[in-house]
Amino acid sequence: MVKSNNENMRIAMIGQKGMPALHGGVERHVHELSVRLAERGFDVQVYARAWYTDTSVERYQGVTIVHLPSIKTKHLDAITHTFVSVFHAMFTRADVIHFHGVGPSLLAWIPRLFAPRTRIVSTFHSLDRKHEKWGAFARAALRAGEWASCRFAHRTVTVSEGIRTYVEVVYGKQTDLIPNAVPPYARVKTTDALDAFGLESGNYFLVVSRLIPCKGIQYLIDAFIQLQDTNALRGKKLAIVGDGFYSDRYVKKLHDMAAGNPDIVFTGFQSGVALSELYSHAFMKIHPSDNEGLPLTVLEAMSYGLPVLASDIAGHRDLISHPEYTFEAGSAQALKVKLVMLLGRDPAELVAEGDRNRQKVRDQFGWDEVVDKTIALYLNEVTSPTAQIATA
């Protein structure tokens, strides 16, 4: 029987590491989306890796958490977990299997072949194959995952205009543009996290990122150190929030670059109140990535009302429209020039830019519209003529 509304419609989320989200843009996206779908009556099951989510957590805010094993190595973790998750989702007769990321989408052919009644959705979050951490074989597999996301999914979702254009040009696939979203954050006055790391309100640049090569943090540290030889920084520090992921060598490189520098502060992974405090009291958010889809940390900073300086990649252009707040990706020199320029601005101009960022997020990147579009996509698919034929 084809379901025409959300009552008892089962949605299987596959590709994320787990829930509740601890870190990672895809994980936070799936977390927020799943909770809101459950609130609207959907039966949502999120597949979690045993090492990421506490196995005692079976339900979270109305969402079923399915714990399955994986082979926890850099190259096998995601694909082995996806494999067992797909078969579990087919066994439990999910109405929609929603793959998150092109890597997991490599296996979208399995339910397409063996579970024809199930509708397949794939969200293309970023061009993962361009991440420096991957070797030639992994990049080839991720390229194949891009193709599978477009070939085997009934609907392919892209999170930014840049990715949508890429998919249309390279694979000839029309996609559904459904961006990432963030809630409207309010600044907090407490400063416990700042006190713990020797930071002062309004006197530090903020980076919130996983410490992996494609995030470009080495360019920022380089530019920051160069500016320390001048008066341009005016005593401001650099707070780097996040940890590595199969990137110990890169993390060591960053720490070596900053060795002995008291103005470069590594806080490690932060969440909850501590992260909110770090956002609330920052002078500016800097995001020097070489590759992004639609970065949640930039959206979060904008929602807090921060000015954001980011590399001029496609994933940032959907968010930051003024070229004064972007710099040439991969260039510490270009980043240094923009920092000097912005530091020389009237502080009121930076406050106004932060206010514009906050309003833009509330107008264009709120969760209500994202959930509405996702539900419409699900309902359209499960009631499509091909779905009716498959269930006949």
Q: How many residues does the chain have?
A: 392
SS3 284: strand
Let me know whether 167 and 303 are in one domain.
no
Which residues form the domain of 86? Answer: 10-181+366-391
**Residue 1 located in a structural domain:** no
**Residue 186 located in a structural domain:** no
Question: How do 308-311 and 326-327 pair as beta strands?
Answer: parallel
User: Can you name the residues that pair with 285 across neighbouring β-strands?
Assistant: 206, 308
**Residue 187 located in a structural domain:** no
pLDDT (tens digit, 9 = 90+) per residue, 132-185?
A: 666 787 888 889 999 999 999 999 999 999 999 999 999 999 999 999 999 999
Structural domain tally of the chain? 2
- Token duo for residue 161: 């205009």
**Residue 154 located in a structural domain:** yes
Let me know whether 110 and 150 are in one domain.
yes
SS3 248: helix
CATH assignment of the domain containing 21: 3.40.50.2000
- Token duo for residue 382: 């499960």
**Residue 333 located in a structural domain:** yes
Let me know whether 163 and 197 are in one domain.
no
Let me know whether 218 and 305 are in one domain.
yes
- Measured between alpha carbons, how far is 170 from 226 in angstroms, rounded to an integer? 40
Let me know whether 144 and 197 are in one domain.
no
Q: From first to last of its 392 residues, what are the pLDDT tens digits of the chain? A: 345 566 679 999 999 999 999 888 899 999 999 999 999 999 999 999 999 999 999 999 999 999 999 998 888 999 999 999 999 999 999 999 999 999 999 999 999 999 999 999 999 998 766 666 667 878 888 899 999 999 999 999 999 999 999 999 999 999 999 999 999 999 999 999 999 999 999 999 999 999 999 899 999 999 999 999 888 898 999 999 999 888 899 999 999 999 999 999 999 999 999 999 999 999 999 999 998 889 999 999 999 999 999 999 988 988 997 899 999 999 999 999 999 999 999 999 999 999 999 999 999 999 999 999 999 999 999 987 666 555 54
**Residue 5 located in a structural domain:** no
**Residue 108 located in a structural domain:** yes
**Residue 385 located in a structural domain:** yes
216 CB-side CA count, 13 A: 23
